[in-house]
Structure 1
Amino acid sequence: MRLGVYDAILHDRPLPDAIRVVADLGLTGIELNTGGFLPAAHVPTFDEILVSDAARDDFLGLFEGTGVEIAGLNCNGNPLHPRPEIGERHAQDVRRSIRLAERLGQHRVVTMSGLPAGEPGGTRPNWIVNAWNSAALDVLEYQWGIAAPFWRDMDALARDHDVKVALELHPQNLVFNTATIRELVERTGATNVGVELDASHLFWQQMDPVAVARELGPLVVHAAAKDVRVNHEVAALHGVLDNRFRRLSPDEPRVNLGGDEWVNEWPTDSAWDFVALGRGHDTAYWTEFLRALREIDPDMWVNIEHEDVSLGRIEGLEVAAAVLTAADAALGEA
Structure 2
Amino acid sequence: MKIGAYTACLHDKPLPEALSILAAFGLESAEINSGGFIPEPHLPIRDILASEQARQDYLGIFADHGITLTALNCNGNPLHPNAIVRDKHSADLIRSIEVAALLGVTRVVAMSGTPAASATGTNPAWNVLPWDSAYLDVRDYQWNEVAIPFWRNVQERAAHFDVKIAIEMHPHNVVYNPATLLRLVESINATHVGAELDPSHLFWQGIDPIEAVGHLGGLIYNAAAKDTRINAAARINGVLDDRFDRVRPDAPGAVSLGGPYILSRWPTDSSWDFVAVGRGHDVTWWRGFLQVLEQVDPGMAVNIEHEDQELGQLEGLGSAAKTLLEAAGR
TM-score by length of structure 2 reads 0.98
Offset, 1:18: 0.3
CA distance in 2 between partners of 1:65 and 1:179 (Å): 42
Offset, 1:55: 1.5
- Structure 1 partner of 2:37: 37
Kindly provide the amino acid, as one letter, of the partner of residue 48 in structure 2: I
Assess if the C-alpha contact under 8 Å between 2:249 and 2:262 holds in 1: no
Question: Does residue 141 of the first structure (1) align with residue 140 of the second (2)?
Answer: yes
Offset, 1:6: 0.3
Assess if the C-alpha contact under 8 Å between 2:114 and 2:125 holds in 1: yes
CA distance in 2 between partners of 1:172 and 1:136 (Å): 15
Kindly provide the amino acid, as one letter, of the partner of residue 10 in structure 2: L
Identity of aligned residues (%): 52
Q: Which runs of 5+ in 1 are unaligned?
A: none
Q: Deviations over 1:235-273 (max 9, x none)?
A: 111110111001012332210000001100000010000
- Structure 1 partner of 2:186: 186
- Structure 2 partner of 1:201: 201
1:64 partner SS: helix
- Structure 2 partner of 1:322: 322
Question: Does residue 246 of the first structure (1) align with residue 233 of the second (2)?
Answer: no
- Structure 2 partner of 1:227: 227
Assess if the C-alpha contact under 8 Å between 2:202 and 2:209 holds in 1: yes
Pairing of 1:272-287 with structure 2 (within 5 A): 272-287=272-287
Kindly provide the amino acid, as one letter, of the partner of residue 99 in structure 2: L
- Structure 1 partner of 2:267: 267
CA distance in 2 between partners of 1:21 and 1:208 (Å): 32
- Structure 1 partner of 2:80: 81
Kindly provide the amino acid, as one letter, of the partner of residue 123 in structure 2: R
Kindly provide the amino acid, as one letter, of the partner of residue 219 in structure 2: L
Assess if the C-alpha contact under 8 Å between 2:249 and 2:256 holds in 1: no
Kindly provide the amino acid, as one letter, of the partner of residue 244 in structure 1: R
Q: Which moved more, 1:247-256 or 1:198-207?
A: 247-256
RMSD: 0.9
2:3 partner SS: strand
Offset, 1:51: 2.3
CA distance in 1 between partners of 2:123 and 2:63 (Å): 44
Offset, 1:121: 1.5
Offset, 1:305: 0.3
Question: Does residue 20 of the first structure (1) align with residue 6 of the second (2)?
Answer: no
Assess if the C-alpha contact under 8 Å between 2:222 and 2:300 holds in 1: yes
CA distance in 1 between partners of 2:288 and 2:87 (Å): 39
CA distance in 2 between partners of 1:64 and 1:3 (Å): 16
Offset, 1:291: 0.9
Structure 1 segments of 4+ aligned residues over 6 angstroms from their partners: none
2:56 partner SS: helix
Pairing of 1:132-171 with structure 2 (within 5 A): 132-145=131-144, 146-171=146-171
1:109 partner SS: strand
Offset, 1:120: 1.0
Offset, 1:19: 0.4
- Structure 2 partner of 1:7: 7
- Structure 2 partner of 1:123: 122
1:174 partner SS: coil
Q: Which moved more, 1:154-163 or 1:55-64?
A: 55-64
- Structure 2 partner of 1:212: 212
User: Would you say how many aligned residue pairs link Structure 1 and Structure 2?
Assistant: 328
CA distance in 2 between partners of 1:151 and 1:104 (Å): 23
Offset, 1:48: 2.0
CA distance in 1 between partners of 2:221 and 2:301 (Å): 8
CA distance in 2 between partners of 1:92 and 1:120 (Å): 21
Kindly provide the amino acid, as one letter, of the partner of residue 18 in structure 2: A
Q: Deviations over 1:164-216 (max 9, x none)?
A: 00000000000000110111011111110000000000000010100000000
Q: Which moved more, 1:122-131 or 1:57-66?
A: 57-66
Assess if the C-alpha contact under 8 Å between 2:70 and 2:301 holds in 1: yes
1:4 partner SS: strand
2:35 partner SS: coil
- Structure 1 partner of 2:92: 93
1:129 partner SS: coil
CA distance in 1 between partners of 2:309 and 2:317 (Å): 12
- Structure 1 partner of 2:108: 109
Offset, 1:84: 1.1
